[in-house]
């Protein structure tokens, strides 16, 4: 194993490994070993990354940095499932399930653009900490149908000729008028410990299972 250097998360090492597949063919991969400065939420203090990228394409440090950002992708799919119902249990047919997932994916892209515009105007930290993605998704799903009825198709054609810069400026102007208080998160407070029951010998607790057993006898 060869020491490569350090990143924001820890020390990076690398070594070549050989893997033989089911057909007997031998493959050479790179195993990147990162000793973490801070443990993960699961308590791990080191991670291993298997890569087949050539060194000329990506160094071990770059791969370690890219892997560190994977949580953004994982979080995106979690939000897809939670806010946009991307995993619908009743869609038993694979094409229907795939279609439902794709619709949710496009919806998430729209949500991501809205979030980026809000971050540009109100600040990344404020939006990330205070604004609820659930309420934003609920606003889109609740207002969209009425908006499409109230605003005629002709009114939307103006956006066809917008350049990317013009459309970005338009989103920023809209973001300035958004009342963030309507979409504020409501974090759950610490759970209260249940009150300890006082035992009273005059009124002892009798389980339902015990009563049923006595009745059967």
Is there a domain that residue 97 lies in? Answer: yes
131 in the same domain as 166: yes
Is there a domain that residue 202 lies in? Answer: no
- Picking from 31, 134, 131, the residue whose alpha carbon sits closest to that of residue 78 is 134
Tokens of 30: 């790179």
Comparing 58-62, 64-68, 76-80, 104-108, the range with the smallest average pLDDT is 76-80
Residue owning tokens 């939670």: 82
Is there a domain that residue 96 lies in? Answer: yes
Comparing 83-87, 137-141, 166-170, 212-216, the range with the smallest average pLDDT is 83-87
64 in the same domain as 140: no
- pLDDT (average), residues 140-168: 88
Q: How confident is the model at residue 144 (pLDDT cuts 50, 70, 90)?
A: confident
28 in the same domain as 100: no
DSSP tag of 1: -
The residue among 36, 68, 100 that closes a domain is 68
Higher per-residue pLDDT: 71 or 131: 131
Return d(Cα 190, Cα 188) in angstroms, integer: 7
- 74-122 pLDDT, tens digit per residue, is 777 777 777 776 666 665 667 777 888 888 888 888 888 999 999 999 9
Is there a domain that residue 135 lies in? Answer: yes
Return d(Cα 129, Cα 116) in angstroms, integer: 14
Higher per-residue pLDDT: 78 or 172: 172
Is there a domain that residue 208 lies in? Answer: no
Comparing 126-140, 163-177, 188-202, the range with the smallest average pLDDT is 188-202
- Picking from 133, 77, 72, the residue whose alpha carbon sits closest to that of residue 101 is 77
- Residue burial 154-183, b: 16+ Cβ < 10 Å; e: rest: eeeeeeeeeeeeeeeeebeeebeebeeeeb
Residue owning tokens 């000793």: 35
The residue among 41, 68, 95 that closes a domain is 68
Return d(Cα 15, Cα 164) in angstroms, integer: 45
Is there a domain that residue 191 lies in? Answer: no
Q: How confident is the model at residue 166 (pLDDT cuts 50, 70, 90)?
A: very high
Query: 111 is in which domain, residue-wise?
Result: 72-183
pTM for this model (two decimals): 0.51
% of the chain exceeding 70 in pLDDT: 90
111 in the same domain as 49: no
Provide the 10 A C-beta neighbour count for residue 36.
15
Residue owning tokens 């980026």: 116
- 7-17 pLDDT, tens digit per residue, is 888 999 999 99
DSSP tag of 177: T
- Give yes or no for a contact between 12 and 33, defined as CB atoms under 8 angstroms apart: yes
DSSP tag of 32: E
84 in the same domain as 32: no
- Residue burial 85-107, b: 16+ Cβ < 10 Å; e: rest: bbeeeeeeeeeebeebbeebeeb
The residue among 37, 68, 99 that closes a domain is 68
42 in the same domain as 77: no
107 in the same domain as 26: no
- 28-41 pLDDT, tens digit per residue, is 999 999 999 888 77
pLDDT averaged over the chain?
Answer: 85
Q: What is the pLDDT, as a whole number, of residue 102? A: 86
% of the chain exceeding 90 in pLDDT: 31
Q: Please report how the helices 164-176 and 94-122 are oriented relative to each other, as an axis angle in degrees rounded to 10.
A: 70
Residue 184 has pLDDT above 80, yes or no: yes
155 in the same domain as 78: yes
Is there a domain that residue 94 lies in? Answer: yes
- pLDDT (average), residues 203-216: 78
Tokens of 36: 């973490």
155 in the same domain as 76: yes
Is there a domain that residue 179 lies in? Answer: yes
The tally of domains found in the chain comes to: 2
């Amino acid at each position: 194993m060869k020491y490569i250097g350090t990143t924001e998360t820890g020390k990076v090492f690398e070594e070549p490994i050989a893997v033989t597949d089911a057909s007997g063919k031998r493959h050479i991969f790179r195993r990147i070993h990162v000793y973490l400065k801070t443990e993960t939420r699961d308590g791990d203090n080191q991670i291993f990354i298997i890569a087949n990228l050539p060194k000329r394409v990506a160094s071990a440090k770059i791969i370690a940095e890219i892997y560190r950002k994977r949580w953004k992708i994982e979080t995106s799919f979690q939000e897809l499932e939670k806010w946009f119902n991307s995993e619908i249990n009743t869609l038993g047919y694979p094409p229907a399930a795939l279609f439902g997932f794709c619709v949710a994916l496009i919806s998430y892209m729209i949500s991501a653009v809205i979030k980026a515009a809000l971050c540009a105007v109100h600040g990344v930290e404020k939006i990330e900490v205070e604004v609820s993605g659930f309420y934003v998704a609920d606003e889109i799903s609740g207002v969209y149908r009425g908006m499409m009825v109230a605003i005629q198709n002709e009114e939307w054609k103006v956006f066809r000729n917008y350049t990317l810069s013009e459309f970005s400026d338009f989103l920023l102007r809209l973001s300035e008028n958004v009342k963030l208080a309507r979409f504020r998160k409501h974090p759950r407070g610490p759970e209260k410990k249940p009150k300890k029951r006082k035992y009273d010998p005059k009124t002892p607790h009798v389980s339902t299972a015990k009563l049923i057993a006595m009745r059967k006898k």
